[in-house]
Amino acid sequence: MAKRRLRGWLVAAAVTLVAAAVTCALFLHPSAALAPGPVGSALEAASQGLDEIAIDAAFHPVSRTVDVTQVCTLKNRTGVTQRVLVLRTYPNAFNSEDTSPAATDEFFDACYPSGFSAGGLTFSYVKLRMGDGTEDYASYDFGDDAHTVMRVTLPADWATGDTLTLRMGYSLLIPEAAYRYGVDDGMWALGNAFVLPSPWVDGEYRADAYYSIGDPFISDCRNYTVRLTAPNDYAVAGTGSSQSAPTADGQTLTTFSAPAVRDFALCLSTNYHVKQLMQDGVLVQALALSDTNAQTMLDIGARALKCYGERYGAYPYPVFTLCEVSFPFGGMEYPTLAMISSGYLQTGGNKLEQAVAHETAHQWWYAAVGSDEYNQPWQDEALCQFSLLDYWETRYGAAERAELKYTMADTAMLVTIPAGVTPGSPVDYFGDMSEYSTVVYGRGAAAMCALDTAMKGTLDGFLVRYYSTFAFKLATRTDFETLLKTYTGEDWSPLLSDYLDTYLNN
């Protein structure tokens, strides 16, 4: 009898282990369950002729490091001959409390619950080949105290239209921080982590500081291929479509293909649960610390993706991923991927739904249609808030849209902002996140609502044109206003200036 019970226990244990293995296969590597659809014609066309970035990375959780080999194949598109190439090395901002965007008085306790933890980026080599020439070591320096502006000296003229190849080896140190770049509560967020070529805008390379307010980034679309090895008990999600396969040494190799994207981000955890669905050929997936939260994010994200696709134009990428991350914000957008706050997931309800819908809208207003998030943050944030109103109406009706508009936009027009900033101000004009949110999100949304009212409810139609015209490009405020005038036959710049540039002294 005891032997039969023992045999029964062993069989049950074996079944449990098999079931656990199947569950891990589904939870830890989403690409093994559902595969993304093929690249669409619009994305295929947009990817033609773009610069190429290839990354091989090895994730080492014990040392909190990622070893990276990165190759950038870049064409001179500046219109002038260059002797310097500028790159952004954002992780270096986390080297010290003086430069970390997470170490301000406003964020320190929330972002560093166990005290300050350093992060950064250390190069082992930087090599350069001009055209078909010989590869050689390159000299470089940094143009800012935080070492986020890397200037590579070119050994010869880099003429317009010519190509160079930059090969770099470096190691990322990930801080113990609840931030877009950091690890907290077993969740690793690698946002703005990899070396990024700086865009050339208005006759210069952009070298903006990693400011603590808003999303102080601007970047061009490029084609990314990323190969990441990580311990096989980690769920891995990142920008673009992915395929995973085990290696012989207990690791998993995940290969990402991400054409025409502005950056590449990663999220990893041993505790993620994964939910997926296919919607109109797009793989939508959500990763969270609980099954319930993953399902909730998935449902909201899929609804928002469908709403915006019907209103503004088809989502251009084959996959969209939502990941739970520990940080003190509602969410953070990256191409084909959005990070969502654990705190919002715990709160749930309207607050969570609005955060997910807002971040999903960034796939149109940031990922596809790029803008200057440093100097004109309203151009994506205000549009995402207006898109949220569209989503809310689709989901709950016109009366609920009006109620959300009042709460979100109308009340923001009544708040006194002592600094004298406006929705059209750069991010470094704002003193704290509350002020930034009220002005850029709230009053920015009010500007879009006023424009929609003046246009007799046809702003959605303009956004269709705006999206189709500037997808995979960088659109300026002038581009926005000029296209709006062409679309409507009227000049709306006075109305926009009244909302975006005029300080309200309530």
What's the per-residue H, E or C state across 326-391? CCCCCEEEECCEEEEEHHHHHHCHHHHHHHHHHHHHCCCECCCEECCCCCCCHHHHHHHHHHHHHH
Of 191, 220, 249, the one marking the end of a domain is 220
Query: How far apart are the C-alpha atoms of 194 and 68, rounded to whole Å?
Result: 9
Query: How far apart are the C-alpha atoms of 464 and 143, rounded to whole Å?
Result: 40
Of 171, 190, 220, the one marking the end of a domain is 220
Q: Which residues contact 56 (CB under 8 A, 6 or more apart)?
A: 68, 69, 70, 226, 227
Identify whether the C-beta of residue 252 lies closer than 8 Å to the C-beta of residue 236.
yes
Q: Is the residue at 342 inside a domain?
A: no
**What kind and span of H or E run contains 466?**
helix 459-470
Q: Is the residue at 42 inside a domain?
A: no
Output the pLDDT for position 418. Answer: 74
Output the pLDDT for position 419. Answer: 73
Give 96-138 pLDDT, tens digit per residue: 999 999 999 999 999 999 999 999 999 999 999 999 999 999 9
What is the tally of structural domains in the chain?
2
pLDDT in tens, the chain (506 residues): 333 333 333 333 333 333 333 333 334 444 447 888 888 999 999 999 999 999 999 999 999 999 999 999 999 999 999 999 999 999 999 999 999 999 999 999 999 999 999 999 999 999 999 999 999 999 999 999 999 999 999 999 999 999 999 999 999 999 999 999 999 999 999 999 999 999 999 999 999 999 999 999 999 999 999 999 999 999 999 999 999 999 989 899 999 999 999 999 999 999 999 999 999 999 999 999 999 999 999 999 999 999 999 999 999 999 999 999 999 999 999 999 999 999 999 999 999 999 999 999 999 999 999 999 999 999 999 999 999 999 999 999 999 999 999 999 999 999 988 778 999 999 999 999 999 999 999 999 999 999 999 999 999 999 999 999 999 999 999 999 999 999 999 999 999 999 999 887 65
Q: Is the residue at 195 inside a domain?
A: yes
Find the helix packing angle between 459-470 and 444-454, rounded to 10°. Answer: 110
We report the CATH number of the domain holding residue 86 as 2.60.40
Query: How far apart are the C-alpha atoms of 389 and 464, rounded to whole Å?
Result: 16
Output the pLDDT for position 503. Answer: 80
HSE (side-chain half, CA atoms, 13 Å) at 319: 25
Characterize the bridge pairing of strands 282-288 and 273-279: antiparallel
We report the CATH number of the domain holding residue 475 as 1.10.390.10
Q: Is the residue at 69 inside a domain?
A: yes
Q: Is the residue at 188 inside a domain?
A: yes
Output the pLDDT for position 19. Answer: 35
Q: Say how far residue 421 (Cα) sits from the centre of its chain.
A: 26
- SS3 assignment, position 426: coil
Q: Is the residue at 173 inside a domain?
A: yes
Query: How far apart are the C-alpha atoms of 236 and 229, rounded to whole Å?
Result: 10
Query: How far apart are the C-alpha atoms of 310 and 443, rounded to whole Å?
Result: 26
Characterize the bridge pairing of strands 136-137 and 52-60: unpaired
Output the pLDDT for position 166. Answer: 98
Measured CA distances, 382 to 338, 444, 494, 500 (Å): 18, 5, 18, 10
Report which of 181, 153, 165, 216 is spatially closest to residue 53, judged by C-alpha positions. 165
HSE (side-chain half, CA atoms, 13 Å) at 174: 30
Report which of 385, 375, 431 is spatially closest to residue 107, judged by C-alpha positions. 431
Report which of 183, 182, 193 is spatially closest to residue 226, judged by C-alpha positions. 193
Output the pLDDT for position 331. Answer: 97
Identify whether the C-beta of residue 452 lies closer than 8 Å to the C-beta of residue 496.
no
Measured CA distances, 183 to 30, 111, 148, 171 (Å): 21, 10, 20, 16
Residue with tokens 């166990």: 114
Identify whether the C-beta of residue 188 lies closer than 8 Å to the C-beta of residue 269.
yes
Q: Is the residue at 201 inside a domain?
A: yes
Which of 98-137 are b and which e, b meaning 16 or more Cβ less than 10 Å from the residue's Cβ? ebbbbbeebbbebbbeeebbebbbeeeebebbbeeeeeee
Where helices occur in 31-98 by DSSP H, the ranges are 41-47
Of 202, 220, 238, the one marking the end of a domain is 220
Identify whether the C-beta of residue 479 lies closer than 8 Å to the C-beta of residue 465.
no
Q: Is the residue at 478 inside a domain?
A: yes
Output the pLDDT for position 506. Answer: 59
What is the domain extent for residue 382?
378-500
